[in-house]
Amino acid sequence: MGVIQIMSPSLANKIAAGEVVERPMSVVKELVENAIDAGSTKIDIYLEQAGITSIKVIDNGSGMVKEDALLAFERHATSKLRAEVDLFRISSLGFRGEALPSIASVSDVTLITSTGEDLGTLVHYRAGKLVETGTAASKKGTEVTVKSLFFNTPARLKYLKAENTELSYTIDYINKMAIAHPDIAFKLVNNNRILLETYGNNNIIQVLANIYGLEVAKMIDVIDYRDGLFTLKLYYTTPEINRTTRNYITITVNKRLIRNNELTKAVLEGYETYLPINRYPIAVLDITVDPLLVDVNVHPAKLEVRLSNQEHIKTVITELIQKKLKDLMYVPKVVIREPFIEKQEVNVKQEEFDFTNQNNERDEVKELFTDKFTLKETDIKMDTNNSTSYIRSEPEYEIREEKAVVKTPKLPKLYYIGQLLGTYLLAQNED
Ligand SMILES: Nc1ncnc2c1ncn2[C@@H]1O[C@H](COP(=O)(O)OP(=O)(O)OP(=O)(O)O)[C@@H](O)[C@H]1O
Ligand SMILES: [Mg+2]
Q: Could you report the per-residue pLDDT of 128-181, keeping only the tens digit for each? A: 999 999 999 889 999 999 999 999 999 899 999 999 999 999 999 999 999 999
Q: What pLDDT shows up at residue 75?
A: 87
Residue 40 Cβ inside 6 Å of ligand 1? The answer reads no
- Is residue 261 a contact partner of residue 299, using CB atoms and an 8 Å limit? no
CB atoms within 10 A of CB 231: 12
In the chain, domain spans: 1-199, 219-328, 331-428
CA 21 to ligand 2 centroid distance, Å: 12
Asked which of 90-104, 263-277, 282-296, 411-425 is least confident by mean pLDDT, the reply is 411-425
Residue 140 Cβ inside 6 Å of ligand 1? The answer reads no
Percentage above 70 pLDDT, the chain:
81
Helix (H, G, I), strand (E, B) or coil at 58: strand
Nearest to 271 by CA among 225, 321, 219: 321
Give the pLDDT band of residue 377 (cuts 50, 70, 90).
Answer: very low
Going by CA atoms, what residue is nearest to atom 12 of ligand 1? Answer: 72
CA 30 to ligand 2 centroid distance, Å: 5
Dihedral over Cα of 325, 330, 333, 336: its sign: negative
CA 216 to ligand 1 centroid distance, Å: 36
For residue 384, list its beta bridge partners.
none
DSSP character for 281?
Answer: -
Task: Give the number of the atom of ligand 1 that is nearest the alpha carbon of residue 78.
Answer: 29
Look at the chain and count its residues.
431
Q: Using CB atoms within 10 A of its CB, is residue 424 exposed (0-12), middle (13-18) or buried (19+)?
A: middle
Q: What pLDDT shows up at residue 130?
A: 97
Give the pLDDT band of residue 401 (cuts 50, 70, 90).
Answer: very low
pLDDT tens, position by position, 364-376: 322 322 233 333 3
Is the pLDDT assigned to residue 341 strictly greater than 90?
no
Average confidence (pLDDT) over 212-216: 93
Query: From its phi and psi, is residue 191 left (phi > 0), alpha (psi between -120 and 50) or beta?
Result: left
Percentage above 90 pLDDT, the chain:
61
Going by CA atoms, what residue is nearest to atom 7 of ligand 1? Answer: 34
Is the pLDDT assigned to residue 53 strictly greater than 80?
yes
Q: Which CATH number is 219-328 given?
A: 3.30.230.10
Residue 34 Cβ inside 6 Å of ligand 1? The answer reads yes
CATH homologous superfamily for 1-199?
Histidine kinase-like ATPase, C-terminal domain (3.30.565.10)
Is the pLDDT assigned to residue 348 strictly greater than 50?
no
pTM > 0.75: yes or no:
yes
CA 99 to ligand 2 centroid distance, Å: 5
- Is residue 81 a contact partner of residue 87, using CB atoms and an 8 Å limit? yes
For residue 24, give the H/E element and its range: helix 24-37
